[in-house]
A = this chain, B = another copy of it.
């Protein structure tokens, strides 16, 4: 069962062809989230580059993608919500697979979108992970925007308080 969540942060080189190594730990999660994965083969990944306001790529397993697709199919076909989701998760997304050497190829379009020159940051978010250009990542993650219910100066673990579910 190895690892279930994408956890960790790491930096990787992006070469002229757009190839980037995926952190080894993430590859295992991808493999376990790919229904068609067989030992020795290469797991598939989904890369979502949709939303214009985002300056990172959202990556997930096939299982996670299928779950999203099922959710979308349950929404009213012509609703703006469903349309927005479909545009983002179906149209502006890419299904590809990890290569023999554990790398992912990011097409030029996607690299431009997030402004990657030659180095990328992989950030695990649990059920999915993000790819950032190193420069953007440093800037964007320095400043945390707060709203009325959020205090940037507070230790985040405070928000875990209360309503514990059963163990494990």
Contacts and interface: CB of A to CB of B under 8 A. Distances in A.
Given A67-B165, A91-B9, A165-B70, A159 B25 contact: no
A162 B112 CA distance: 33
Interface of A: 1, 3, 5-9, 25, 36, 46, 50-51, 53-54, 63, 67-73, 75, 79-95, 123-127, 141, 144-147, 149-150, 152, 155-157, 159-160, 165, 168
B145 A72 contact: no
Given A84-B144, A144-B80, A150-B80, A90 B5 contact: yes
Contacts of A144: 80, 83-84
Given A7-B95, A71-B160, 4 more contacts: A7-B94, A9-B91, A9-B92, A90-B125
A66 B53 CA distance: 30
A63 B123 CA distance: 22
6 contacts: A7-B46, A7-B90, A51-B155, A68-B160, A69-B126, A73-B126
Contact of A69 (B5, B85, B87): B5
Contacts of A69: 5, 126
